Chains A and B, each alone.
Chain A
Amino acid sequence: MHKTARHHRFAALAAVIAAALALSSCSSSSGGGGSSSPTGSISGQTITYWASDQGSSIADDVQVLTPELNAFTKQTGVKVDLQVIGWNDLLNRILAATASGQGPDVVNIGNTWSASLQATGAFLPITSQIMSQIGDTGRFLPGALAATGAAGKPPVGVPIYSTAYGLYYNKVEFAAAGITSAPTTWEQLIADGQKLTHGSQWGLTLEAAQTPENAHAAFVFSEQQGGSWFDSSGNPTFTTPANVAAIKELVGFMGTDKITNPSDAENSNGTEALQEFASGKAAMLMWQPAGANLAKYGMQSSAYGVAPLPFPATAPAGAQHIDSMVGGINLSVFANTKHEAAALAFVKFMTSQQTEISLNKTYGSLPSVTDAYTDPAFQTADDKVFQNVLASSATAMPEIAQESQFETVIGAALKTLYADAASGTAITDSLIQSTLNSAQQQMAAGG
């Protein structure tokens, strides 16, 4: 009996080993590919590039990027295998590639993921030596460069497209309400918003069920209240009075000021608020550069203006002069690439003056390098607003490994509070406090 049991255990073990061998032989067969020494010529190599979805659709991205990639191939002899990946899948695809070691050579990432992905060790650290290889540090916008990894560690990417938040306002509706200029304080914004709210028209629209949008707003409002979501050693400090005040201000647009349609508490797909603004159902919108999309939804560029986000009329103690997070996309190289030289040549090409001008022009984003701003396309009044914000009053989201977790828990907490406000629940300090407290516990336990 004893002998049989042991025999069976051995057989089971052998079966597992056999299965594991079969698995590994499967995966290694797909991993082949010409590796070359870094000193050799890169011509003839093929690199895989995962691009994020920057245009109106994935097909649109392929159309925009293909001519650039062809130019790169012509210049260097390196072929680029392009895959455009939607935002909903990108992070999970990167995680899967990180866990399996089978990934692309170059990838676009949302810059707020930098520190999280840096912690995985999946990406090639951009040392100062590599930096000089792909173009001098001085070219990149300092704000955008700060969003490439945690402070004190070599960054894990370089910025390629940059954005910031601004206040879009409907000039026609402003004129009809007798308002002559964009609000510069929140108090003005609320007063203007109440004048603009009548019938089926609302003062301000929010994408209130979308986690990243909520997290970005919570971050900026907290900075303006003199708060912070983390202390200097990276521990969450969600329940400070400044953070409670920040959240109360945000939810108040819907709950107490009544300048935001309660239905906005359902807006979750990332374009609904934009469409409400474009169709004139709301007069104001806090958004990243949206000119290209507004045109697509049929709004004339003369019908709207852009201003920086307002500030509190009297700054609370410790308030920062911050009205935006540094938004944008970074370009990272996978650490286990077999074509490091070719990948870096590609990064250099994609962040060159010419490519930055042409891609950012098409996508409606801002270049991440100073020398691209010479192009007249980036000299419009709207672009100037975003450039100023980016240069003087934007700061990077917390550069900590749990950043993506932070966006999830704070975004979700705000979504819940908006839902409460929409259904008529009074948003008290203690309700906010307890919601933030449970978010903080999730944050602490998850790490």
Chain B
Amino acid sequence: MALAAETDRPPSPPPAARARRKPLTWSRARHKALPYLLLAPAVCFELLVHIVPMLVGIWISFKQLTVFFIRNWSSAPDAGLANYRLALKFNSAIGQQLLHSFYVTLGYTVLVVAISWFLGTGASVLMQNPFRGRGTLRTYFLIPYALPAYTATITWEFMFQRDHGAVNQIIVRDLHLTSHVPFWLIGGNSFAALVITAVWRTWPFAFLVVTAGMQSIPTDLYEAAAVDGAGVWQGIRKITMPSLRPVNQVLVLVLFLWNFNDFSTPFVLFGNVPPQQADLLSLQIYDTSFQTWNFGSGSAMSVLLLLFLLIVTAGYLVATRRARSADA
């Protein structure tokens, strides 16, 4: 415990400052150590839950950890950069597949984040002013977010089935929009099915966050604007959106990270072998690790994914901060 707490000690003061200090007495040391001791359990758990598994994952990515070594995985031979080379060799089957999945995942994430954000923001703007039944409607909107991921997705899977699904029942047999019965879970439409399901699951969160953010916008701002002759649209553009900027900055980032890593939606919808058009990276990593039992390659792909998301996050934070300081 005490050892772990040492890591959190702030950087030593410069020598000049140190010289002026009184010598460290036992009671002073005890006094100073107290906050760290109180923090120690949290630090320990953080290490156990996040840092150690992440380090182990990175370590595995440099190992040839296949079925032959999982029993005694510390004896797996070194792979050097071979796992990374395999993943990044874009003219081989695996590298090509991975690059394809990367583009699909990127397209999927951008679409889901954009649509979810528009729906969430639109709904919260419409519900900004009180009306009868607003509370009920808000609760109703949040249901998809409260449902367990599996339950929600498997319901969509049933609805998208070609012969017995509700979607085809409505668009083909009830509304006669098309004469041929389309597939949703295989082929080109599977990407649309995936995006629809993910948006349905994600937008309530955007709605929740934006609604919360709007509570802090003072109503007299709108009143003053109305006196000056501003319409509803100008109110949204000039007051609501700028006030929501810090909220949106975090919201878009979080939505991006969640959806880029999303595993349960495609897995429940398509099983472990998704259609080409909806082949997300997380499923590729799962297949490499748990179907072909090549944990080294799977970890290398995970590390690459992590690096990409780190770069995106850092770039995004820098860009949004710069934009904000340019505004100010």
Contact = CB atoms under 8 A, between A and B. Distances in A.
B328 interface: no
A18 B293 contact: no
Interface in B156-176: 161-163
B225 interface: no
Interface string A100-127: 0100000000000000100111100000
A268 interface: yes
A12 B7 contact: yes
Given A266-B162, A268-B271, A442-B97, A405 B292 contact: yes
Contacts of B48: 19, 22-23
A98 B71 contact: yes
Contacts of A370: none
Interface size class of B (residues with CB under 8 A): 35 or more
Interface stretch (B102-110, B126-134, B181-189, B202-210): B181-189
A121 B71 contact: yes
A376 interface: no
A404 B293 CA distance: 9
A86 to B, nearest CB: 14
Nearest to B273: A412
Nearest to B65: A99
Given A265-B183, A441-B92, A415 B273 contact: yes
Given A22-B44, A22-B48, A416-B275, A99 B4 contact: no
B7 A404 contact: no
Contacts of A211: 271-273
A209 B186 CA distance: 10
Output the residue of A209, A266, A409 with the most chain B CB within 10 A: A266
Nearest to A14: B3
Contacts of B323: none
Interface residues of A, number: 52
Contacts of A402: 67, 292
Contacts of A423: 183, 186-188
Given A209-B273, A412-B273, A441-B92, A446 B68 contact: no
A15 B7 contact: yes
Contacts of B276: 416
Contacts of B9: 11
B262 interface: no
A28 to B, nearest CB: 16
A16 B96 CA distance: 38
A116 B67 CA distance: 7
B70 interface: yes
Interface string B1-39: 101101101011000000000000000000000000000
Interface of B: 1, 3-4, 6-7, 9, 11-12, 43-44, 47-48, 52, 55, 66-68, 70-73, 86, 92-94, 96-97, 161-163, 183, 185-188, 271-273, 275-276, 287-288, 290-294, 297
6 contacts: A16-B52, A22-B48, A211-B273, A261-B163, A411-B273, A419-B186
